Amino acid sequence: MLWRRALSLITLGVILNLPLAPAGEWEFIIDGSKDLYRVVQFVSPLEGWIASPTAGLLHSSDGGDNWEVVDLKERVEARVLHFLNKSEGWVGGGNLLLHTKDGGRSWRRMEFEELEIITDLCFASSQKGWVAGYKGKPPHHEGKLLYTDDGGGSWKIGWRSKGETPYKLFFLDDRNGWLSAFGGSGQRIYRMTDGERWEAVELGMIGPIMDLFFIDEKEGWGAGWGGEIIHTCDGGRSWEIQLNTGFPGLTFYAVLFINRKEGWAVGLAPFRGGGVVLHTEDGGGKWEEIFRTGGMKYLRDICYTGGDSIFVVGNGVILRYRDPDLRRMIGIKPLERRMTILGEVKGRGWAVCPETELLQNYPNPFNLETWIPFRLSKPSDAVIRIYDVKGRIVKEIRVEAEGAGLHVVRWDGRDSRGEEVSGGTYFYSLEAGRFKAVRKMTVIK
């Protein structure tokens, strides 16, 4: 199972009773509405869309200052949304999808007999797209992923699984995509690298991952139930828990990064009285709570406009954060924040994708057994060799095709013949690709 928990524990920092962020940074565009705003997307700094199961489809052409309801020509509980540009996009709910090529003036209707509920959709181009959903009542339902190569003229089944619910799709292009799905066997992340075949990665019995975000083909994050944020450095082949608050009821619904270090997560924290926004400047090593809504105004989605604004939507609220530095920070370096910190959650693991490194064994000194940890910057076969003080190989441990991140191997204090080694000083080395390193350890008898 390609799933690893970091060796270091993750703890919650002290909650500070400080005022909210200074005026002019976070602002309510809409507050107190009875509508649920579920998905927000901007295709340019000015042009944005919001899907709402109660209000329908909303559109802004002035950077989010004003929003107007779009006439969909029929009643649609809008829960999913994807626009390629200001003219072409899709919106849907239930088993219905609507497609426009003229900015919402006219719509083409698509109804899916294979699905009862559409959970997400994503289009890489005007021709190629995917729709995720399920049919039947959980836990006896069947999750499905449909795809089209002709703009929705026809659809084929690209993935199906009984008892699994697909939650989130994320595509970088028409070849590289990821799907989060949860079922009786736990959480899985499916990954695709060739535009056709899906590979399942078992994450085990953690809560559902509600959102995925990738900065490139290798590095990405997921966020979901239980206040968990997960992180990958190898395109989703393996994952580690970057943040686990352990708070009952805390759910992250969306996560966003604008470069490898600068990111946000939004969701619901009932014990804090409503929606929360967390922020990191180091790729997730430390998360700080920078905004809370109060009440039960939980936050459902977050989007960067491409200009100086980030939008967050949720239960009765549309929020905007404005910072003139946002545009220049894309892919360059973390922002210099001017935020009031409400509290902080610190992770004692890796914040960004690690460099290859051989770590000190533990315990050391040891008697019966010891553990040898090491990190890989990318998937690679690795070899651990143990030597005596004369340089002779005592034991060789091969680790094949491991993913990036932390790995740990056990040595039982025996040589290659199965005999216990004598007490004294020993050396152990790591070879992975071109990387080589040696450390010292002590056996006590």
Strands 142-148 and 343-347: unpaired
Residue 24, amino acid: G
Distances (CA, A) of 206 to 183, 191, 244, 272, 439: 11, 18, 10, 22, 35
Q: How many angstroms separate the CA atoms of 157 and 155, rounded?
A: 7
The overall pTM is greater than 0.85: no
Contact 168, 212 (CB under 8 A): yes
Contact 92, 82 (CB under 8 A): no
* Cross-strand pairs, 420: 414
Q: How many angstroms separate the CA atoms of 305 and 236, rounded?
A: 26
**Is residue 365 reached through a cis peptide bond, with omega within 30 degrees of 0 on the bond before it?**
yes
- The DSSP secondary structure of 190-220, one letter per residue, reads EEESSSS--EEEEEESPPPEEEEEESSSS-E
Which tokens hold the place of 231? 């992180």
Contact 242, 284 (CB under 8 A): yes
Contact 299, 253 (CB under 8 A): yes
For the chain, list the domains and their CATH numbers: 25-111+203-328 (2.130.10.10), 357-443 (2.60.40.4070)
Taking the CB of residue 165, how many other CB atoms lie within 10 A of it? 20
Residue 393, amino acid: I
Q: How many angstroms separate the CA atoms of 379 and 402, rounded?
A: 5
- The DSSP secondary structure of 246-305, one letter per residue, reads --TT-EEEEEEESSSS-EEEEEEEGGGTEEEEEEESSTTSEEEEEEE--TT--EEEEEE-
Q: How many angstroms separate the CA atoms of 29 and 68, rounded?
A: 13
Per-residue pLDDT of the chain (445 residues; tens, 9 = 90+): 333 323 222 222 222 223 333 334 889 999 989 999 999 999 999 999 999 999 999 999 999 999 999 999 999 999 999 999 999 999 999 999 999 999 999 999 999 999 999 999 999 999 999 999 999 998 889 999 999 999 999 999 999 999 999 999 999 999 999 999 999 778 999 999 999 899 999 887 678 999 999 998 889 999 998 889 999 988 998 888 888 776 667 899 999 999 888 999 999 987 766 899 999 988 888 888 898 888 778 999 999 998 899 999 999 999 999 988 776 665 433 333 333 333 333 333 334 566 788 988 888 899 888 989 888 887 888 999 999 999 999 999 998 755 677 778 899 999 999 999 999 999 999 999 889 999 999 998 8
